[in-house]
Chains A and B, each alone.
Chain A
Amino acid sequence: MRQVEVDNFPCLLFVTHLESTQVLSGNGYAQQFLHICFDELSLTLTDVLSKASLIFYESYVKPILINNGIFTEVQLTLITRRGDRIPAVANIRLVGGTLFWAVYPAEERDKLYQELVLARESLEEKTEELTRLTRLDPLTSLLNRRALNTDLTKIITFMRRKYVPVCLVLIDIDYFKLINDNFGHEYGDEVLLRLASMLTAVVRESDLVARWGGEEFLVALYNTHLQDVQYYCDRIHEAVHKIRLPNSKKLTVSIGVAAIEPQDLGDKDVIAKKISKADDALYKAKNNGRNQTQLG
């Protein structure tokens, strides 16, 4: 092929030195497009690529070229001598210590990709928001029953590899029906909200707090032995007593606790069984006069 023919291809062809990034030669189309004469001494990639493209080149493209010898379809931004910035797609091949570039301007493709990037970002945001919404109880913003089950299942899977003590604490507001009947549902909701924020305040980041049912809350205490739970529950009782009802009586809760022991982990229904055990303890607390904790 004659040089004049190579010059006429609507594709920027140029050759650079891998180590120094010096531009060694190129076709006529590339020179016209970039308004650059490749005969200029000390012309390097910094003269033809945007700074962001240079980082991308050094971080991704060059290591792959050294390793694989070829890199196809990389999107970069060309900089012309006039200062224009042109999106382009490059195929690059390493032969010896020299890089052979075939670059075509891709403004339309870039516009499409920009739209795709924006569309994806907006989808990601929506997905994140939806995921958040499906996991949370709308009133208290605590985890809902499903989310707690999902998270607890993950913990159980981990515990099967390496045991960590976990305790399930089931908390039920005493006489909640009466509170609703006497002071109205709005007030009942307020009590639920106050209890929710109180529970969130007394747990660690590694613990889970969920609204388990109407006036029932479930806390999973991570890395906690059954013998250490009483202290935590005492703090809950104490904090709950600070909530005064309109008739000046203290709010109280009953608590049932169950620990997940190593021998429980072989059981497929370990979560359901342990929650049922905590529930039994909770009923014991209720039957025993309420406002107390029972360990299952």
Chain B
Amino acid sequence: MYLETDIIQRNNVRVTGKGEVTLLLAHGFGCDQRMWDYLIPFFEESYKIVLFDYVGCGQSDLNAFDKKRYSQLSGYAKDVEEICDSLALSNVIFIGHSVSSTIGMYAAIERPDLIGKLIMVCPSPCFLNLPPDYMGGFEKEDLEELINLMDKNYLGWASYFAPLAIGEGNGDSFKQELESSFCSTDPSYAKPFAKATFFADDRHLLPKLTTPTLILQSQDDTLVSVEVGQYMHKAIEHSVLNVLEAKGHCLHMTTPEQVACAIEEFLD
């Protein structure tokens, strides 16, 4: 039985900033909307900014988690589409980190009216090595180990918070504690997202994307090689590739000013 819910509440949508044009900021795997806090100051004076958590992440409504829907990136893209529809947004500038770039791509292909421009921060359409044509950086076993690490770390944190978890009634506060710890890895929600993210091969979508796209890459990213960015740039017709002189996979957190400059340059 599918029940319609209040999307704004479901996805913990927050609107800030002032301006005619909307930036829709979509967090990546592992975290929530708070990871954008470092980038927001660069845009809040001239753009309306919409932030949200995917269902299963951050402060989203976990009751709305549908295992089937959220075991595929297209399910997360539905969140994006529903948020735009609820706020009557169209032609937004979508900024997605890592896997959210692919999610944005799904949404832009499905609903081109919603997304006017797509900005991908450290994207990868496929994390798997599929030789000889494509090297996403990881073997299947690596990703299976990741799922296992998620499980074990959650257990570790659960025991860390054990005093709070004693007794039925305190279960909720334990959960809140974990959720407020910025990145929650309750495996029930995080594992489907991890599998959807790291076992996906969405390279076939790249030629279908007609939205003007900026691919922002890092010179040295342990998760995504520069070659992956070049591969995407070649396959997406209206794309610009900008490899920043920065390192790491969380550029919007570590070097927000460089990311902001590159975005502004693209938007101008």
Chain A interface residue count, CB cutoff 8 Å, equals 49
Q: Is the CB of B247 closer than 8 A to any CB of chain A?
A: yes
0/1 interface trace, chain A 111-131, chain B, CB 8 Å (1 if under)? 001101100100000000000
Using Cβ atoms and an 8 Å threshold, which residues of chain B touch A63? 30-31, 35, 182-183, 250, 253
Q: Is the CB of A268 closer than 8 A to any CB of chain B?
A: no
> In the complex, which residue of chain A has the Cβ closest to the Cβ of B35?
A63
B30 lies within 8 A of A60 (CB): yes
User: Measured between C-beta atoms, what is the minimum distance from A149 to chain B in Å?
Assistant: 13
A56 lies within 8 A of B150 (CB): yes
User: What number of A-B contacts does a CB cutoff of 8 Å give?
Assistant: 126
0/1 interface trace, chain B 4-32, chain A, CB 8 Å (1 if under)? 11100000000000000000000011110
> In the complex, which residue of chain A has the Cβ closest to the Cβ of B188?
A124
B156 lies within 8 A of A51 (CB): no
B3 lies within 8 A of A20 (CB): no
> Which residue of A73, A113, A206 has the most chain B CB atoms within 10 A of its CB atom?
A113
CA–CA, A207 and B1, complex, Å: 6
Using Cβ atoms and an 8 Å threshold, which residues of chain A touch B31? 59-60, 63
Q: Is the CB of A202 closer than 8 A to any CB of chain B?
A: no
Using Cβ atoms and an 8 Å threshold, which residues of chain A touch B135? none
A68 lies within 8 A of B182 (CB): yes
B149 lies within 8 A of A77 (CB): yes
Using Cβ atoms and an 8 Å threshold, which residues of chain A touch B3? 154-155, 158
Q: Is the CB of B151 closer than 8 A to any CB of chain A?
A: yes
Q: Is the CB of B246 closer than 8 A to any CB of chain A?
A: yes
* In-complex Cβ contact of B152 among A45, A113, A208 (8 A): A113
* In-complex Cβ contact of B29 among A21, A59, A207 (8 A): A59
Q: Is the CB of B227 closer than 8 A to any CB of chain A?
A: no
If A59-B31, A117-B155 touch, whether A206 touches B145 (CB-CB below 8 Å) is: no
CA–CA, A72 and B161, complex, Å: 12
CA–CA, A275 and B259, complex, Å: 60
Using Cβ atoms and an 8 Å threshold, which residues of chain A touch B152? 75, 110, 113-114, 117
If A56-B153, A110-B152 touch, whether A50 touches B183 (CB-CB below 8 Å) is: no
Q: Is the CB of A55 closer than 8 A to any CB of chain B?
A: yes
Q: Is the CB of B117 closer than 8 A to any CB of chain A?
A: no
A54 lies within 8 A of B222 (CB): yes
CA–CA, A76 and B148, complex, Å: 10
> Which residue of A53, A54, A68, A114 has the most chain B CB atoms within 10 A of its CB atom?
A54
0/1 interface trace, chain B 150-170, chain A, CB 8 Å (1 if under)? 111101110010000000000
B246 lies within 8 A of A19 (CB): yes
* In-complex Cβ contact of A64 among B144, B145, B146, B181 (8 A): B181
5 contacts between A and B (CB under 8 A): A19-B248, A19-B255, A20-B220, A46-B222, A155-B3
Interface of A toward B, CB cutoff 8 Å: 18-21, 44-46, 50-60, 62-64, 66-68, 72-77, 89, 110, 113-114, 116-117, 120, 151, 154-155, 158, 161-162, 164, 205-208, 222
Please provide the 7 A-B residue pairs with the shortest distance between their CB atoms, ordered closest to farther: A59-B30, A52-B145, A52-B146, A51-B142, A58-B249, A113-B152, A117-B151
